[in-house]
Structure 1
Amino acid sequence: MNAEIITIGDEILIGQIVDSNSAWIGNQLNLLNIPVVQITSISDLAEKITETLVQAASRAELVIVTGGLGPTKDDVTKETISAFFGKPLVRNQSVLTHVEGIFARVASGREMPEVNMRQADVIEGCEVLFNDVGTAPGMWIEREGKIFVFMPGVPFEMKYLMTNRILPKLGQLDTHLLIKHRHLITIGLGESFLAAKIEDIENSLPPTIKLAYLPKLGLVRLRLTQYGNSDDKIDVFHEKLIERLDNHVVSTKDVTIEEAIVEHFAEDNIKLATAESCTGGRISSAITAVSGASAMFDCGIVAYQNTIKQQILGVKEETLKKFGAVSEQTVIEMAEGVKKLANADYSIATSGIAGPGGGTPEKPIGTVWVAISGRVETQTRLFQFHNDRLINIERTVANAFAMLWNMYIKERGN
């Protein structure tokens, strides 16, 4: 079995919202060995919805659709799929009772408009996927050996229906194709250098095992994928890659670098603190977004103004006067100051000119200093990025994590 994901909504196409639904659904289907052959985003137009459903059914055995199930006139999905399947919309009493109950709780005794009642309309003969956390139900429809699943586009409602209604049903099906994945998160080697380092291993892969390079700022993910019930041993090649890349390997799981840092620091009882200026808390936010961060993260100080750098972090007034806030000397004192303040083992400090203003001939936009203070030493690095503020911040965060990881590996080895 393979699948296609369709997202409906003009808000996706104009960039008003980001399609996070498809990525999450794809990940869940992968866990069931159901490969996704295509992801398509389309507008709320009847002809486009019909055309896309026809095309998807020609490519995939499972078609999952999110969005367009609202009660207002701009949501035309229900009427369109009613015509597509040649079956009328019927009002489901159980869903209607549920919708009325929600409306009564939030509408202070007002009569529910007809437009809200339309939420209970479903395709005749479909399996209704009851939505406990919202008003729009999902629908499961089978036709000519194909499965069509329709869900609301609100992410938490979609995830509820997938988790509680759809994935259990899919798990009972025979998906036929066995897919195995193995992962490596690497750091310190660009994609081309990495490929050259493991070229002989990649060339020795059998046809049933594929290697994918997934570069991201500061790191490269490697994914080995084995298709079918083959006797080829994906784990053998995975171990070869781990051995070859050695200290460049951050994790052998499909995680972010911040997830790897949290996991390893927590296991080694290492505490981290941050002092951020130009990154405005992005580093501490990335760390604390990871479950388990409380075991290794002490504090994060966003010291944007020089008075805070002095009063909280202990940066010397003469340092700021002589070298400026964006300087090697200042980030060293920031890193060592927050480490002392938190009694941490490691710390990160950032200071820079993210842009688009504030640059000078001596320190142009994109000038960033990062300091990492560890158990043995404090290291710094100067970066010269470009004029885009958000990219400059993102690059600073990525490089700060890379520097932290490299110092951790170095000191652990010593």
Structure 2
Amino acid sequence: MILKRYNAKSRLLIKSQIGLVILFTILCIHPAISQVQEKQPVQDSTADNKVHLFVEEMPVFPGNLNAWIYNNIHYPEAAKDKGIEGRVYVRFIIEKDGSVSDVKIIRGVSPELDNEAKEVIASMPKWFPGKHNHVPVRVSYTVPVYFALRSTPPSVERRTFEKYLKVLNNEEEKLKTGLDTVPQASFDMYRLYLKKRYGSDNAAYKRIVTSAREQQQSSEIMLSIVMPTMSLPVTDKNKILQFYKEEWEEQIRLIDSLPGENFITEYVKITPRFRANTTLREIKIRDYLGLKKFKRYVEDCIFSPGKLIRAVIANPFIGKWEKISENGVDTKNVLQKEFYDDFTFSCSNGVSGTYKITNGRYLSETSPSVKIKDIMEYHASYEYEVNSRILVLTGEVKLKLADGTQKNIQVKETWRRIE
């Protein structure tokens, strides 16, 4: 069973406009804060102008970064007309005074989408700056922005750390008996595929080594997004990054060590070593961090969705909530609701179903089989206000009763995030 390096299928925030949907995921979010940042710049108390990737106190956006970008980004008409969609990676520096500078597209899609993503990031308000040893420092951030003309909610497998650890332990035991070999049938099929695709050994080498470097770049980008948000010491983050770099360098070294004349055949032979190196990387990280920290790393860096994604995804509902009032009256009976990554929800009273987000302002929920008292079906349309802690839903709930009649209720509910 191959260990997955990443599952970067982020949950998407859907923005409909004239039948088109904008999806974008920001993976560098920190918990929203209620204070408003003071206008005066932070006093520059250090001559250190180095740009940091990890610091003891990472920069924090003054509010909900998801909501801010959601309200400021626009799908370029030219890109719509051409049917262009994709993911734009933007890297920028948060200065010592919290301002944003040096905004760059490090991997783009098209001039239209690249320029829109760059302009929105460049126009962000000041952040609370990052600090190292309690002193403001310059910090590099990378943000991926997704543009899509259609909405395809992902089907998400809910994994656990225990399952991941079991797989890793099994892979470790298998390595003790030696590397796997490629079965002859698979070997011949893969070799013929590469030969047909690239034509020659030389062309195959150039494309495969280029692809390996592109994968390395993608991994570096993902780490630069995810790792700053992890609640681990800077020394641990740097050590994790070192283990990843060792794996990348070994992969390039292996490819470069193959003979040019018979490159395709020899490359197919060593493919099990790439899988083994990924396993060894995870073993090194596990042994270095210990199980408690390794669990945090797996959930934040490997699982997507996971605890990290629940906190940073551009879907503000992901997580567990508790109702605290309805129509101005405090809730007496505790009711909890959890929104999942695959656009489903469930409540502690047994109600479950699906939900949709539209226009960045409206939430709709559907439960086709409620089976609570005399209620058979449940449909609701809300206008919502949400931050990291409080969710307010205002709208109409339509209930289909057991006697075939329908009952409509106007509600205003307040929910508190509990997880």
Looking at secondary structure, tell me which structure has more helix per residue.
1
- Rg larger in 1 or in 2? 1
The reply to whether TM is greater than 0.5 is no
The TM-score normalised by the length of structure 2 is: 0.23
Instruction: Name which structure has the greater RCO, CA cutoff 8 Å, separation 6+.
Output: 2
